[in-house]
Structure 1
């Protein structure tokens, strides 16, 4: 047995560490009995303990209930098997693939092994007390062995290589579940998880979204880059507060008209033109519709709670419906073909506004917006900006690519940006 380590064991056998206590691991390192990778792990743990003394480190580490080691080049976590008092471990961004040493840590309730090289998660079935588990950014293909972890409430399996989620169907206590960036084509087996409040299914290959209608307790749903076209399964999710639907093929948002609890709506990169279904969603505070086909914003002009509106890259030329939206703090209208910004003069609570890439020649209507801190006017038709001298709270005024007759900043010189 090289370097004094225990021989490799079959996956089916219980993990049996060569040393029971951290002091024994540490003393074996001092005797030169361990591999460089194992020695490195012990050295990291000594740093955590703030001492090079094996016995003192043993006492310190044995009394810890939490351990965090991020991006420390850990290849071997066998020494962690001695830290049996641990309840929470976060060892993300390392290099290990064998998680059998964790099976000794039966008090664990929270485990974060994000960003490692794990393929086999069967050892986790020996940790029945887990309530939170982060396995994101590994190399996992099979999740069937998670079915025994019935106390899990928070599970992140994003960025793996999973095709079949059916092994999760018995985890009925789950409230938070992320399955983004996997290879699944079907998630209907998850319809049993009716306690879910947060669900992410981005970047999969799902064809049928009908089972979404069963998740009526959801407050946050992320379906960006999912290929969804028909939103009708969402109409029953009336507890939704945050909905992310970016970069799909959506044209009709009428099923959203029932989602009266919505606070945030993200729909970048779709083909939405009709905003009328949003007109009754009075709790909306944030709307983001970058790169759609919106021409008329009047359907949302009555949303009094709206504080942030992003309509970059649409086809809006008439801003008059915006004049009543006086609670807006952030407004982005870059790339729309706007010439007349007079309706914006009433939006006195605005802190940031983006008007790049339009056809604006007169910025005098903005002179009333004295709460502005950031103003973006790149690539318009401005010849003068003297009227902006009243905006004394401005911290950034971007004026690139305009035919200005005078490049004198109407405010402090360091506020204005004229060149790239």
Structure 2
């Protein structure tokens, strides 16, 4: 989703039967309550019920129904998959009665909080493009994938291992986060905390460092694109599983920071374009000297002869360092 300029559209012709803009606005604001008929039409996937004694529909697809009230769903206790995206919902509490839920999608609503009790079986949850202020109320022990992108979250302190011990994918793009130091989910394999908008807004993610990231030592994919990161000290500690790192569009200016990536022994793809350091002479070779494992740098393939050249330069540099150390030792005798 990106910011665009407003474009003037031609006004529709008026006639006696047409409603005024104010009337249309009022109509849009009127409550739209989910009915038995609409709920029934949304059901699919007939399966055995939880107790195995009967059959019930376990999927409800209620996307784009302009709903503001889904209270009736609390009676559909066998539902396991619920999609209520693109509505006008402000309250998800009717879902709390659905203890067999495996997946819930509530993107593009008007939620300011999640407000769900712990679901014992929930594995996938998505709440992107809402107005959610914080991450409290997420205590689902089997949750594996969570999308909180494009909200108003400014702190990740409620996202903890004790509450989300199975979580492997967290998307929290385009929020108001300035630090991930309190994020502590060692099970994470995929973390996306970049800024999605083409034009960065001043109140969106502005992370200046990645302190604490080493706690997530199972990470395989990490994207922090379009933040305010200036240094890479956080990678001095081993993150042996990291394969993909996107740190484009940050503020890394010192070529010495590249050396701090040397412990990323499994890294295959590094995206670091649009940082000041990329303008430094010998930048590409400096990266390859420290990261022999990578096959892509800024989406360009790394050739074998480049790796060999980088290896030779690294060896020569090491020899020069050793000779200098010997010379200093002799001078001190």
Q: TM-score category by the smaller chain? A: 0.5 to 0.7
- 1:215 is paired with a residue whose SS is coil
Alignment equivalent of 1:200, drawn from 147, 151, 166 = 147
Residue from 113, 117, 120 that aligns with 1:164? 113
Report which structure shows greater RCO (CA 8 Å, sep ≥6). 2
CA distance in 2 between partners of 1:198 and 1:79 (Å)? 28
Aligned to 1:101: none
- Answering whether residue 171 of structure 2 is matched by residue 209 of structure 1, we say no
* DSSP 3-state at the match of 2:72: helix
* 2:79 aligned with 1:119: no
1:187 Cα deviation from its structure 2 partner: 3.3
Between the aligned partners of 2:295 and 2:287, the Cα distance in structure 1 is: 16
Q: How far has the Cα of 1:309 moved from its partner? A: 1.0
2:192 aligned residue: 244
Q: Is the 8 A contact 1:242 1:264 kept in 2?
A: yes
Contact kept, 8 Å, 1:305 with 1:327, in 2: the verdict is yes
Query: CA 1:78 to 1:263, structure 2 compared with 1: closer, same or farther past 3 Å?
Result: closer
Counterpart secondary structure, 1:107: strand
- Which deviations, in whole Å up to 9, do the C-alpha atoms of 1:266-307 show, x marking residues without a partner? 001111122121241111110001100123211113423211
Pairing 1:261–2:218 present: yes
Match of 2:306 in 1: 346
Whether 2:241 is the aligned partner of 1:283: answer yes
RMSD: 3.1
* Contact 2:33 2:69 survives alignment (8 Å): no
Deviation readout 1:5-41 (Å, 9 max, x if unpaired): xxxxx969x84x6xxxxxxxxxxxxxxxxxxxxxxxx
Match of 1:224 in 2: 173
**What's the counterpart of residue 379 of structure 1?**
none
Q: Which runs of 5+ in 1 are unaligned?
A: 1-9, 18-76, 89-105, 335-341, 349-364, 367-420
Alignment match, 2:261: 300
Instruction: Identify the residue that residue 381 of structure 1 maps to in structure 2.
Output: none
CA contact 2:208–2:230 (8 Å) conserved in 1 = yes
Q: Secondary structure at the match of 2:137?
A: helix
- Taking structure 2 as the reference length, the TM-score comes to 0.67
Identify the match of residue 87 of structure 1 among 3, 28, 46: 46
* Pair 1:79–1:227, CA change in 2 (3 A): closer
8 Å CA contact retained: 1:85, 1:107: no
Contact 2:243/2:269 (CA < 8 Å) preserved in 1?
yes
Q: Cα deviations across residues 318-344 of structure 1 (Å, max 9, x unaligned)?
A: 33232353432322189xxxxxxx999
Q: Report the alpha carbon displacement of residue 209 of structure 1 after superposing the two structures with TM.
A: 2.6
SS of 1:124's equivalent in the other structure is helix
Q: What are the equivalent positions in structure 2 for 1:65-144 lying under 5 Å apart?
A: 80=41, 86-87=45-46, 107-144=56-93
Query: What is the Cα deviation at residue 161 of structure 1?
Result: 0.6
- Which structure: larger Rg? 1
Residues 286 and 139 of structure 1: CA distance in aligned 2, closer, same or farther (over 3 Å)? same
The CA distance in 1 between the partners of 2:290 and 2:128, in whole Å, is 39
